[in-house]
Structure 1
């Protein structure tokens, strides 16, 4: 006989608990993203962008920041990057259309220091020698001439791919000095490469202050909602088993 529990006036069975757990498992497979945008600034990282970055970093421990200050202006890809990891350095290589710029240009500037990565329309790729589970960046002057939003193509350690669209505005003024922050972390998988793509427009963008983290550096607090649902599901299963045990004893 199936036995149900009543919680808050609703009948809840063990099958629902299993569904919650299954849903939690599926939800954990998707990266958790952070985004903030300022369509016009005075040449500094905007308030919304900075807040999104702060929210993202609150979920990480012991990560570093690539501000491109160690590179010579005019350096082009491949660029070798290094970040602190949980047990040593995390190495990465950036290839594609990027070049290190050392002074402001039309709509573009560094969000820290004086240097930044300037990229033309097309794509660039960051390959990680050590798999990462978190990545974030400041973007500058994105969304004025391009006709589509930027897409990040993530490749995990099994070779499977996930695409994340950066939901930035289009049609931003050429001199608006717009900024954004976009980042993600993933509790279920790690990635070996990230490809940036943006179609159309013949535009130039700037990137600065990139952050990566390995799985051990992702320390979200509080526990994300899907995990909370999984705990609820386990609790419901436990209560159901206890009721069945007492029923048989009676």
Structure 2
């Protein structure tokens, strides 16, 4: 009977640890052509991302002035989340060819090259609206997350290529990770002379994630271990 108790406890612990160590869950939606507003696929991806968070803030860049580096501030669970945005970027206050704000009038434009967001307090969720990404390029954008241990994880944003300079394409990309936290995010523009925009950035810490398994879909291994734990607990009751 002692061995059954220990095995049941091990199954429960393993379920928790597997859930906590899951890789980041990413969210993506794209609209290659719009009428100058965030497209429906982009909006759906953004809304799905936001259902996994509570108490986060959105940076719409309306209060920014001057030039980079830009200091940003987001609400956190216990402390404010300070961020610094720097690189080949500038603040725009009116629409340009293919580019526009998805709220208000201000947005950030990025030219060929890299830019980074660094966080004074580690974060576990991030998302943004992208505008006019994918014209004049033959490769897709790469976003690299660096975690609290200094380990980088790179993601390719699966946007369309050569979409047209005036198509006003929009996309949303984001991630949620209940099992890890990150201190910086780097954007690598694929080059080719592409200038794009982004707006309405969302940042959250691990305490603002409302579901440790985004969208409530657990890993198969988690389901197996949970079933094992429940079965062993049932066996223990029968033996008693």
Pick the TM interval, shorter chain.
0.7 to 0.9
CA shift at 1:230, angstroms?
A: 1.8
| Of 9, 16, 32, the match for 1:39 | 32
CA distance in 1, matches of 2:49, 2:237: 45
Structure 1 residue aligned with 2:3 = none
Query: Could you state the TM-score of these two structures normalised by the residue count of structure 2?
Result: 0.87
Aligned residues: 227
Structure 2 residue aligned with 1:140 = 131
The structure with more radius of gyration: 1
CA shift at 1:120, angstroms?
A: 0.2
CA distance in 2, matches of 1:205, 1:41: 15
Query: Could you state the TM-score of these two structures normalised by the residue count of structure 1?
Result: 0.83
After superposition, where does 1:212-223 map in structure 2 within 5 Å?
A: 212-220=203-211, 223=216
- Please say if 1:58 is aligned against 2:51: yes
Structure 2 residue aligned with 1:86 = 77
CA distance in 2, matches of 1:222, 1:80: 32
CA shift at 1:189, angstroms?
A: 0.2
Structure 2 residue aligned with 1:7 = none
After superposition, where does 1:97-112 map in structure 2 within 5 Å?
A: 97-112=88-103
Question: Deviations for 1:68-121, whole angstroms, at most 9, x for unmatched residues?
Answer: 00012xx32111000011113110001101100000000000000000000001
Structure 1 residue aligned with 2:4 = none
Preserved contact between residue 20 and residue 179 of structure 2 (Cα < 8 Å): no
CA distance in 1, matches of 2:144, 2:127: 14
Structure 2 residue aligned with 1:71 = 64
SS of 2:227 mapped into structure 1: helix
Structure 2 residue aligned with 1:164 = 155
| Of 204, 214, 217, the match for 1:224 | 217
CA distance in 1, matches of 2:180, 2:129: 23
SS of 2:75 mapped into structure 1: strand
After superposition, where does 1:110-125 map in structure 2 within 5 Å?
A: 110-125=101-116
Distance 1:223 1:121, change over 3 A: same
CA distance in 2, matches of 1:246, 1:64: 51
Distance 1:26 1:61, change over 3 A: closer
Q: Which moved more, 1:83-92 or 1:206-215?
A: 83-92
CA distance in 2, matches of 1:234, 1:112: 44
Task: Give unmatched runs, 5+ long, in structure 2.
Answer: 1-6
CA shift at 1:171, angstroms?
A: 1.2
CA distance in 2, matches of 1:190, 1:131: 5
Preserved contact between residue 141 and residue 188 of structure 2 (Cα < 8 Å): yes
CA shift at 1:180, angstroms?
A: 0.2
| Aligned-residue RMSD, C-alpha | 2.4
